[in-house]
Chains A and B, each alone.
Chain A
């Protein structure tokens, strides 16, 4: 079962895990990305393309499902405005054994950072607003999977 979603409201990690785990899989790997409150950050805004972002997530999910034997895969990304502590992204990958679940989970988050149309904008307590630049190393991590 592949579940891919773009959400503009909070991601309920526990509820998503229950839904994902309904099949009782042998091994489940998870990645939860949250908004950090570094440097007095007050808001993180995620811009997306209404059609292409979800299509990009779907392509990634199917690429992972082609590459590994997965019993279930959940890929949910938040968009719009959020505050420190909130969940930005949730990746759940399940398989019969841990190696495939862990690899698929890592692949999905690495590729998501370079391949899907999403842009982060930070707002700080002193009023500064800036678009986030890609981190050095993101591309290297993503290309490991080529």
Chain B
């Protein structure tokens, strides 16, 4: 499944791109598994996703938890906890 993934803050810096479209294996069904898959995929992923508890996610604009399913998602955003205000 082709999935558009957007990165922000130090996750973006470590991944080296703001967003990319990746072909996701069938067994990657939720956000937590996606993060683990990215961490195992290459060196930049290992650097960005070494600490999954520091990663937050949104699917198509809605903030979600690690158990959220990826089915039907157009864009998944992965980022550290937000620090606005």
A residues whose Cβ falls under 8 Å from a Cβ of B: 33, 46-49, 51-52, 55, 77, 88-89, 109, 112-121, 131-134
A to B contact number (C-beta, < 8 Å):
64
8 A Cβ contacts from B68-85 to A: 77, 79-85
24 A–B contact pairs at CB < 8 A?
A46-B84, A47-B9, A48-B84, A49-B6, A49-B8, A52-B58, A77-B84, A89-B84, A113-B83, A113-B84, A113-B85, A114-B82, A115-B63, A117-B58, A118-B83, A118-B84, A119-B82, A119-B83, A119-B84, A121-B9, A131-B80, A133-B83, A134-B82, A134-B83
**Contact assessment for A116 and B9 in the assembled complex, using a CB-CB cutoff below 8 Å:** no
**Contact assessment for A117 and B77 in the assembled complex, using a CB-CB cutoff below 8 Å:** yes
A132 CA to B6 CA in the complex, in Å?
20
Cβ distance B61 to chain A, nearest Cβ, rounded Å: 5
**Contact assessment for A118 and B85 in the assembled complex, using a CB-CB cutoff below 8 Å:** yes
A88 CA to B83 CA in the complex, in Å?
12
B residues whose Cβ falls under 8 Å from a Cβ of A: 6, 8-10, 12, 58, 61, 63, 77, 79-85
Given contacts A49-B6, A51-B61, A121-B9, whether A116 and B77 have CB atoms under 8 Å apart is no
A47 CA to B9 CA in the complex, in Å?
7
When distances are taken between beta carbons in the complex, the residues of chain B under 8 Å from A133 are: 81, 83
Given contacts A49-B6, A52-B77, A131-B10, whether A118 and B82 have CB atoms under 8 Å apart is yes
A131 CA to B77 CA in the complex, in Å?
18
When distances are taken between beta carbons in the complex, the residues of chain B under 8 Å from A77 are: 84-85
A116 CA to B63 CA in the complex, in Å?
9
When distances are taken between beta carbons in the complex, the residues of chain A under 8 Å from B10 are: 131
A55 CA to B75 CA in the complex, in Å?
15
A49 CA to B63 CA in the complex, in Å?
13
